[in-house]
Amino acid sequence: MQLRVLGCSGSEIPGRYPTAFLVNDDLLLDAGTIGAVLTPEEQRHIRHIFVTHSHLDHVCGIPFLADAIVLADNPRKVSVCSIEPVLAALHEHIFNGIIWPDFTKVPTPDTAPILFRRILPGVEEQFADYSVTSWPVQHSVAAVGYRIRSKEATILYTGDTGPTEQLWKVAGDISALIVEVSFPNAMSGLALATGHLTAGMLAHELSKLPNRPGRILISHLKPQYETVICQELEQLAIPGLQVLHEGLTLTL
């Protein structure tokens, strides 16, 4: 399984992009960054987008992808998959004909580029070559993490989360964990209030995993605190821990 980091930052500055992970060229985990990194040809390969929650830094690439599909020579549909509250927020607040055209119906319902597909937490579903299961996580809005299974590997992706429980209990055997650490330890109060993790909180969360994976991939660092967060992560001395960065491609 190939994992390409399009964006993995907790905010946007030059060289740091919002969260989006491309799996095997055709599946996206979150969509904070698409057109700023992928060529039109690369964008054409995307078939499914799994959105963890409705915050702008995880969805803002979808409207521009929809626009690019409509203008392409060979339009197609991309399924945007998530729990009902996330899809409702996207429809009401973005694809509402005011902020952006409703590309679930435009140009016509049959030719619209976006198909919203509701998923049920805890239910494993098949999407082409992938088996996908979502579970709720603790964030400031309704949010889920995902387990993505293929023949090659299994990824557990937390999305944005503070201290949580169920996701760790049901993770099972996984090849890699993608988990956020947004703030330095000194800002643990803000992390808890906004549904995020610090390095110290990460160590406690990992202790809840029955089977810790060999690769623990860290995302969503606030660029302003990147240096200190990396130092605090290094001090944990966790085997297999790696801080992700934009442009990285991993084989899992």
Residue 134's domain comprises 2-251
Q: How confident is the model at residue 74 (pLDDT cuts 50, 70, 90)?
A: confident
- We report the CATH number of the domain holding residue 150 as 3.60.15.10
pLDDT at 73 over 90: no
End-to-end alpha-carbon separation of the chain, Å?
5
Task: Give how many domains the chain has, as a whole number.
Answer: 1
Sign of the dihedral through C-alpha 60, 223, 46, 132: negative
Residues 6 or more apart whose Cβ sits within 8 Å of residue 110: none
Whether the model clears a pTM of 0.85, i.e. scores above it, the answer is yes
Paired tokens of 126:
């098949």
Paired tokens of 196:
């995020």
Give pLDDT tens digits for 209-237: 999 999 999 999 999 999 999 999 999 99
Can you give the C-alpha Rg of the chain in angstroms? 17
Paired tokens of 164:
């949580």
Burial of 93 (0-12, 13-18, 19+ CB in 10 A): middle
In DSSP notation, 27-49 reads EEE--S-STTTS-HHHHTT--EE
Strand partners, 155: 148, 176
Give pLDDT tens digits for 34-72: 999 999 999 999 999 999 999 999 999 999 999 999 998
pLDDT at 75 over 90: no
Cβ distance 196 to 183 under 8 Å? yes
